[in-house]
Amino acid sequence: MEYDEALIDEAVLALLAAFSTDTGNTWKGYDFGVMNRLHEQELIDNPVNRNKSVWLTPEGLERGRQIAERLFARKD
């Protein structure tokens, strides 16, 4: 099965934002290709380093939280 990379990128960005601190720091345990694409879009800082976490840019944090709200919010 082939997956839409843009949709995968959005879902990972949403998960990064959903589990980030208020300042945008989050664990980076996702596929390297996805992380590199998010970095190329300037949504996260460079994931290629020795740290186990990555910083979302202000735009990445805002966009990720919007996507997380759309995908994961309870609809009670």
Whole-number Cα distances in Å, 67 to 2, 12, 50: 22, 10, 28
pLDDT at residue 1, as a whole number? 67
Determine the Cα–Cα distance for residues 44 and 3; give it in Å rounded to an integer. 22
The domain tally of the chain equals 1
Q: Which domain holds residue 18?
A: 5-72
Higher-pLDDT residue of 1 and 49 is 49
pLDDT at residue 76, as a whole number? 75
Give per-residue pLDDT as tens, 20-70: 999 999 999 998 899 999 999 999 999 999 999 999 999 999 999 999 999
